[in-house]
């Protein structure tokens, strides 16, 4: 497992990921889906289709996102969001990401919707609002093999 993580870190260190970061912070879900799918093509093995793998994949892709603090599986509300990005100042943006794995390509959109419902039902944004964040983006992210779909909660 360590060898896989090291290899993956080396792959992502060489990549120019600012288009991914820009798409996350501007709400461009089409671009996010495209970039994440492209990166899955290069990194994931055919047998790693578990949520924990995708979670690690996404956390690794995001670890160098500018000044943002990346939190993974932290307590918030009545549950635990998969990934939270926070700008150090509450005047900046915060991002909540919930990950789901679909059994079929056709089921990806429903999994995105399920992830967005979970963000709402589990009140993941409460702690961020208490801290003072006003601009909170919420993403439901579904993976199916080497494909990714991203949907955003409308404000």
Question: 33-92 pLDDT, tens per residue?
Answer: 999 999 888 776 656 667 888 888 898 889 888 889 999 875 555 678 999 999 999 999
Q: Are 71 and 58 in contact (CB under 8 A)?
A: no
Beta bridge partners of 150: 141
Structural domain boundaries in the chain: 2-152
Q: Are 144 and 104 in contact (CB under 8 A)?
A: yes
- Other C-beta atoms closer than 10 Å to the C-beta of 67 total 9
pLDDT cut 90: percent of the chain above it: 62
Model pLDDT, residue 32: 96
CA angle in degrees (0–180, nearest 5) for 102-142-128: 135
pLDDT tens digits, residue range 75-87?
555 678 999 999 9
- Under CATH, what is the fold of the domain 2-152? Trna Endonuclease; Chain: A, domain 1 (3.40.1350)
């Amino acid at each position: 497992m360590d060898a896989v993580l090291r290899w993956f870190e080396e792959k992502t260190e060489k990549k120019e990921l600012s288009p991914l970061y820009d798409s996350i912070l501007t709400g461009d879900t089409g671009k996010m889906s495209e970039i994440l799918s492209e990166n899955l093509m290069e990194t994931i093995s055919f047998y790693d289709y578990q949520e924990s793998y995708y979670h690690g994949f996404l956390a690794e892709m995001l670890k160098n996102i500018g000044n943002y603090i990346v939190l993974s599986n932290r307590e918030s509300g009545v549950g635990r969001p998969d990934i939270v990005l926070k700008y150090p100042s509450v005047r900046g943006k915060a991002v909540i990401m919930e990950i789901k794995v679909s059994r079929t390509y056709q089921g990806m959109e429903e999994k995105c919707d399920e992830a967005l419902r979970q963000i709402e039902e589990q009140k993941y944004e409460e702690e961020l609002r208490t801290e003072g964040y006003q601009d909170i983006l919420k993403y439901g992210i579904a993976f199916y093999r080497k494909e990714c779909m991203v949907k955003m909660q409308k404000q």
